[in-house]
Amino acid sequence: MQVITSKDNDVIKNIRKLKIKKYRDIENKYIIEGVKLIREAICEKAKIDTVIVCEECIKNNTIEQKLLYEIAKYNCIYVSENVFEAVTEVTNPQGILAVVNKNCNEEDINYEEDIIVVLDGIQDPGNLGTILRTIDSVGLSQVIVSKETADAYNPKVVRSTMGAIYRVNIIIANDLVNTIKQIKKHKYKVVATSLEASENIYNIDYNRKVIVIGNEANGISKEILELSDNKIKIPMLGKTESLNASVATAIILYEYVRRKIN
């Protein structure tokens, strides 16, 4: 077993570059880390480019043999502990990570789904990851994000998706207004979340709807609001004026689920 012991190794330097969005975009790849995410990547047949394993984990038997057998089918690189520490972004790493090809298909919007979720400038990685996980949980397979939205392949986002990153097609709209106009041509109605709305999430139907979730601080942009067919809000009985973006998304999407199962 050959072990890379230098942080200056070309392969290691290229992997370290993927910590930066610019290089993730150039290479069309991202990093996943930990036993669970890698096991799910294998199960979901994600396009795994390279697997990196810390040699200490082999010596200490901290990675189960079944997983070691599975990753041996891929391009597998073993590194020393200090090299692994140079590529990991986790405080207490499990000693295994992988480079995966992005699954996004920016030209392929699925017009067969009842709901299309659009994110207009979501900034918090935790919010974005949780929203992707929620979209996956309700049986939807795509999300459209504005170019101002946080990078879906940021390691924090990837971890918080809990594997949904492999199943949700992330469509990046360079011109969100134009993208929504194109979707409307397919007989979808646009529903925008707004604190000023007179309708609420229980007053609308969820058939062929685009659900737009806005920026945590500023909400939905004016141009998108002007394209909307309905503006809705979540009714609240307490004094809190607004909800976290990921919580709001979950509440709306599970009203859609409630309608589906009743």
Q: Which of 101, 123, 142 is the last residue of a domain?
A: 101
Cα angle value 102/16/19 (rounded, 5°): 55
**Mean pLDDT across the chain:** 92
Q: What's the pLDDT at 106?
A: 58
Structurally, how many domains does the chain consist of?
2
Q: What is the pLDDT of residues 41-73, one digit of tens each?
A: 999 999 999 999 999 888 777 788 889 899 999
Distance between CA 174 and CA 197 in Å, rounded? 27
Residue among 166, 57, 183, 63 nearest 111 (CA): 183
Domain contains 239: yes
**Buried-exposed string 25-44: b where 16+ CB fall within 10 A, e elsewhere:** eebebbbbbbeebbbbbbee
* Residue span of the structural domain in which 21 resides: 3-101
Q: What is the pLDDT of residues 201-238, one digit of tens each?
A: 999 999 999 999 999 888 899 999 999 999 999 998 89
Say what the pTM is: 0.91
Same domain, 133 and 238: yes
